[in-house]
């Protein structure tokens, strides 16, 4: 049962689709424990939260170690290709992403205009503006979407 905003009242049964949840009533629904502990929202190969142990992983690698020991390009490669790069792999990836680092004149004008704005606000605005012409990524060839991702992120 949901309220007018579509939100279940506290303690209401909800179906999370998670077979690993600890509480499974006979009707197949799930009860949300305090703090949503144990609720699986989605399955992904990109990241894993290890809350009890106190760490997060990207594709099986500690996020803290990646941040301390790897370049942003190596981490981007990992997220984009599901593995850490070889020397040749990172060289090729840098060439690929380097080709996409140019920005068009209208984006450059926007950046000049918002130069005094807080960094993340400016980044969000520029990224939205730069990607405004992109269509939905659903039901499209993976290589086409991957190319758009590189074109969207490379200028950053």
pLDDT for 146 equals 86
- Compute the Cα dihedral for 51, 67, 152, 128 and give only its sign: positive
Residue ranges of E strands in the chain: 13-14, 30-31, 47-50, 55-58, 61-62
- 66 Cβ neighbours under 8 A, 6+ residues apart: 58, 74, 75, 78
CB 152 within 8 A of CB 135: no
**pLDDT tens per residue, the chain (156 residues)?**
433 433 334 443 433 344 444 445 566 555 655 666 667 777 777 888 777 777 788 888 989 999 999 998 999 999 888 999 999 999 999 998 888 788 788 888 887 888 777 777 888 888 888 888 888 888 889 888 888 888 888 887
pLDDT at position 20 is 42
pLDDT for 147 equals 85
Helix count (H) and strand count (E) of the chain?
6, 5
| pLDDT value for 83 | 93
Other C-beta atoms lying within 10 Å of the C-beta of residue 106: 11
The pLDDT of residue 37: 66
What residues pair up with 58 in beta bridges, in sequence order? 47, 61
């Amino acid at each position: 049962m949901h309220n007018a905003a579509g939100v279940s009242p506290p303690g209401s049964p909800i179906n999370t689709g998670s077979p690993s949840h600890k509480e499974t009533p006979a009707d197949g629904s799930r009860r949300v424990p305090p703090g949503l502990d144990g609720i699986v929202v989605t399955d992904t190969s990109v990241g894993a939260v290890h809350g009890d142990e106190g760490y997060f992983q990207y594709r099986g690698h500690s996020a803290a170690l990646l941040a301390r020991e790897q370049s942003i390009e190596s981490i981007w490669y990992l997220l984009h290709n599901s593995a850490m790069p070889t020397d040749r792999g990172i060289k090729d990836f840098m060439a690929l992403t380097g080709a996409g680092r140019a920005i068009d004149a209208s984006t450059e004008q926007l950046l000049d205009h918002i130069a005094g704005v807080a960094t993340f606000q400016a980044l969000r605005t520029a990224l939205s503006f730069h990607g405004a012409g992109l269509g939905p990524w659903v039901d499209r060839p993976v290589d086409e979407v991957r190319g758009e991702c590189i074109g969207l992120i490379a200028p950053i």
